[in-house]
Structure 1
Amino acid sequence: MIKIIFSDMDGTLLDDQGNVPEGFDEIVAELKKRGVMFAPASGRQYYSLEDSFSKYKDDFLFLAENGTMVMYRGELIFSCPMEKTLAQQVLKTAESLPNIYGVFCGMKNGYVLTSQYTEEFLKELHKYYTHSDPIPSFIDVPDTPIKTSFFDPSGHAAETIYPVMKPFEPDLQVVLSSDYWVDLMHPDINKGIAVKEVQKRFGIRPDECAAFGDFMNDAEMLQAVDYSFAMKNAYPEIKKIARFETGTNEEKGVLQGIRRLMKEGLM
């Protein structure tokens, strides 16, 4: 029987306007009755996830920053920081890229250069980082980096950012998180590693887990569970990895998938 459901946020659980689907609260109440935990698993900052699900902050398990930080009931149960010097080097490299914005993703906060702390970028940033501060330089940031993120407002991150960051492998993991964002993290972390850490911590087997995703940063998470679902709007490679397919994020595909699991008596 399924004991935990991991779900990506953007392009998966949330609709294209960033809203939780209608009927989500009813599904969560039913999951709670059945003893099933829900776990948002996202590239978003932990505080952003906690703010989005404030009424469930003591019920949900949060896999934040692509799995580099896992929190449960306000307690850090797993983290995988990156070397600060590497984070600074990566951010320095990005400064030469025109119209590209960089974020130092710390365990306490997100940090953006004062020169880039513009209204245009903040509108995008605050979707994922509700806690952020401007900083004059990425040298001596008073925080531990768990990820660096880069945003291309033109939506061509695969061409503008990814090739520039790719040479940092294998010292860092370079992930295309969407058409707009590229993330760099410790080479030994991803959502799948975080899922495995959760499984160990709570004594849960892969066949007691389900997961929903749409993009390449969800690949390892889907591989770490037995009941893996790709959204209908998912990246083609994700559809090859997942065992099942569900509706699009606009069609409330996560809720469809959960109802399917309930109907089949798997929770």
Structure 2
Amino acid sequence: MPFADIKLIATDVDGTLLNSRHELSPNFFPLFEQLHANKVVFAVASGRQYHNLRQRFATIADRVVFIAENGSYVVQQDEQVLVQALPPIVAMELLRKARQLPGVQAVLCGKRTAYIDYAAPCFLALISKYYEAIELVPDLLQVTNDEFLKVALWNEQGAETNILPHFEHLQGELQVTVSGLHWLDIAHGLASKGRALAVLQQQYSIAPAQTMVFGDYLNDLDMMHQARFSYAMANAHPEVKQAARYEAASNDDFGVAAVLEQVVASMNGE
């Protein structure tokens, strides 16, 4: 593989960079240091909240680009690169619709914090994996004084069958994305990981031929079209595997790290 000219690497987090126990490969940070030494721009691209990602990668946060909330919010060195917020009236309409669906829980994802209605402790514990800043409020429809990056909806039986059919007619007008087995994310029509990646490519004058991406779920699909070196994990959704040019070992086998080892070796002339 001609990896020596790679200038930008973007990876999804859950189901991709992290294993099923939410652990990084023991080799990840040494590999990152070598990539950084070779002037590779490294981005983590996730449906997770920026504050959560920054905490998870705290030791290298000043050298990572954070593509958070599925591309709605991009931050580098604590500076905003891109904010693609939902109009507040649209966010409230989505929440009203979600309230009509049995078994659906909602997170209103603001730039400042994530908001949930006073909820069962189990749901709070669940979202704490993905959100560092969380505020419990009496009524999501009364939240103001923040920029709303997306509305995240959760259903225990599955998002693709139990939530998506109620919102997929909005696709095009909005970005409606199944981002995990239980999650549906709804964001501004221009908000996506792929568009965020395109913004970075333009900012750094990096071509798709010099870009590598990794992903496993439907919110990673448009990233696959933005990079010459597009990898679906072995555990990826079938549509992601179809869109990607290559396949990496599963997240539980630390497939991202295995490919990054090849990249580093290529850059070091090995």
Describe the SS at the equivalent of 1:47: helix
| Superposition RMSD in Å | 1.5
Distance 1:15 1:170 in 2: 32
Note the C-alpha offset of 1:266: 9.1
Describe the SS at the equivalent of 2:62: coil
Describe the SS at the equivalent of 1:94: helix
Distance 1:8 1:266 in 2: 25
Task: Describe the superposition over 1:94-142 as per-residue Cα deviations: whole angstroms up to 9, x where unpaired.
Answer: 112222110111111100112x2x2101111011111010111223422
> Which letter maps to 1:71?
V
Structure 1: runs of 5+ lacking an equivalent: none
> Which letter maps to 2:164?
Y
Distance 2:111 2:148 in 1: 6
Aligned match for 2:57, one of 36, 49, 53: 53
Q: Which residue is 1:163 aligned to?
A: 165
Describe the SS at the equivalent of 1:220: helix
Note the C-alpha offset of 1:4: 1.6
Question: Greater CA deviation, 139-148 or 219-228?
Answer: 139-148
User: 1:137 aligned to 2:139?
Assistant: yes
Describe the SS at the equivalent of 2:140: coil
Q: Which residue is 1:127 aligned to?
A: 129
Relative distance call for 1:265 and 1:25 in structure 2 (3 A) is closer
Q: So what's the TM-score if we normalise by structure 1?
A: 0.95
Counterpart contact for 1:7–1:41, Cα < 8 Å: yes
**Aligned length in residues:** 264
Structure 2: runs of 5+ lacking an equivalent: none
Aligned match for 2:151, one of 148, 171, 182: 148
Q: Which residue is 1:245 aligned to?
A: 247
Distance 2:93 2:173 in 1: 12
Distance 2:34 2:187 in 1: 36
Counterpart contact for 1:70–1:79, Cα < 8 Å: yes
Q: So what's the TM-score if we normalise by structure 2?
A: 0.94
User: 1:18 aligned to 2:28?
Assistant: no
Question: Greater CA deviation, 169-178 or 84-93?
Answer: 169-178
Describe the SS at the equivalent of 2:16: helix
Counterpart contact for 1:229–1:257, Cα < 8 Å: no
Question: Greater CA deviation, 250-259 or 28-37?
Answer: 28-37
Relative distance call for 1:25 and 1:86 in structure 2 (3 A) is same
Identity of aligned residues (%): 32
1:70-219 to 2 correspondences below 5 Å:
70-114=74-118, 116=119, 118-141=120-143, 142-154=145-157, 156-219=158-221
Describe the SS at the equivalent of 1:159: helix
Aligned match for 1:40, one of 44, 58, 62: 44
Note the C-alpha offset of 1:171: 2.6
Counterpart contact for 2:35–2:264, Cα < 8 Å: no
Task: Describe the superposition over 1:21-67 as per-residue Cα deviations: whole angstroms up to 9, x where unpaired.
Answer: 22111111211222212210000000000000011110101000001
Counterpart contact for 1:2–1:266, Cα < 8 Å: no
Note the C-alpha offset of 1:2: 0.9
Question: Greater CA deviation, 45-54 or 22-31?
Answer: 22-31
Describe the SS at the equivalent of 2:59: helix
